[in-house]
Chain A
Amino acid sequence: MHIPDGILPAPIVLTGYAGTGLVTWYSLRRINRQENPQAGVPKASLLTAAFFVASWIHIPVPPTSVHLILNGLLGTLLGYFAFPAILIGLLFQAILFQHGGLSTLGVNALMMGLPAIAAHYIFQLRYRFKITQVNGLAILGFFSGAMGLGLAVLIFFSLLITNLPAGLDVRTEQAAITGLALAHLPVVILEGFFTALLVSFIYRVKPELLPQR
């Protein structure tokens, strides 16, 4: 679902970089305000590795094939660490495997990182609703994991559909983009389940690994 180079016009690419700079700054500020900012680094680093590898895992959804993103999972488990983690993961995917692009790094980071932060806030609703049971946390984890990817797909869809270049058959391309967005639905549900499983496992084994208030 990464947007490669040469697909989006220059103003959007530049806005993407500006936005990414701003959100990275804000995320780092939030991390720095934590009691021990370094404590989250090992977990963030391991999940960056998971994010980095996830794009290799292709799931055939006929007629196309889609890959895992795991941005909702990162947001759920990392909180504000998720944004720099996704940014670094995307950078390595772009320079090592030309997956995505260096010019669209900012746009891709916003597209996956902002929904990750949204997923974090969805999962933190557990404090507001005082959810302490494993089943309740798993359901919340499902929603945060699924919404993280779902929102990213929505941003991907609207970015592409509003920036179709001239010289293309607009209807064919719109149909192709819509098809690709719909093909992500099974992955949205899959990542939701995966997040729910992981959240309930961590809660049982080592609950302090879940992001605190």
Chain B
Amino acid sequence: MKKRLVVPLAAFAVLGSQIQAIAHGVKIEYQVQSAIEIQSAYDNGEPMQAAQVAVYSPDNPTEPWLTGQTDANGKFIFAPDPQIEGNWEVQVRQAGHGEIVAIPLSSDSESKLQASIVKGSTGYSAPQLILMGLMGIWGFVGTALFFAKGKS
């Protein structure tokens, strides 16, 4: 009795799933847009992995237009709505460390986009930073020597 039921049930199941698959046909459309890539790193050069990103559009600076996470290399890519011109603000944050960058977006200029993203770094090269550090240390040591001399 049971065996007799198995065959029609199996046939029904296969047919049924086929019908379902046809009903879930997929259509993918695409269009080429300009996107903004955010590269975030700590000041020691280590990428901010899985940091939270909130993108604010110029017309609503209080609620995020998009939220997401950076990837393992500290990168985050999003395509802003080209209709909304003005300063797009992107906040990257992890464990109390973070930065907000304002990215001016206007329909005519593509070059502007890339210029303003490099923020958060001091803009100095490693030798410059070392020199600045040494000068700072010398300032402190010099102060110490000055007062030590005055004492004797």
A joins B in a complex: yes
Give 18 CB contacts A-B under 8 Å: A38-B147, A39-B151, A41-B144, A42-B151, A43-B144, A46-B140, A52-B136, A65-B44, A65-B46, A96-B133, A98-B122, A166-B63, A167-B56, A167-B64, A168-B93, A173-B94, A176-B94, A180-B95
Among the stretches A1-9, A71-79, A194-202, A203-211, the one at the interface with B is: A1-9
A69 to B49, CA, bound (A): 24
Judging by beta carbons under 8 Å apart, are B140 and A49 in contact?
yes
Judging by beta carbons under 8 Å apart, are B150 and A4 in contact?
no
Q: Mark B39-79, 1 if CB is under 8 A from A, else 0.
A: 00001101001001010100000111001000000000000
Size of A's binding interface in residues, CB under 8 A: 38
Size of B's binding interface in residues, CB under 8 A: 36
Query: How many CB-defined contacts (below 8 Å) exist between A and B?
Result: 94
Judging by beta carbons under 8 Å apart, are A167 and B54 in contact?
yes
Known A42-B148, A96-B132, A172-B52: A48·B98 in contact at CB below 8 Å: no
Known A7-B96, A173-B93: A49·B141 in contact at CB below 8 Å: yes
Known A98-B122, A173-B52: A45·B93 in contact at CB below 8 Å: no
The smallest beta-carbon distance between A64 and chain B, in angstroms, is: 8
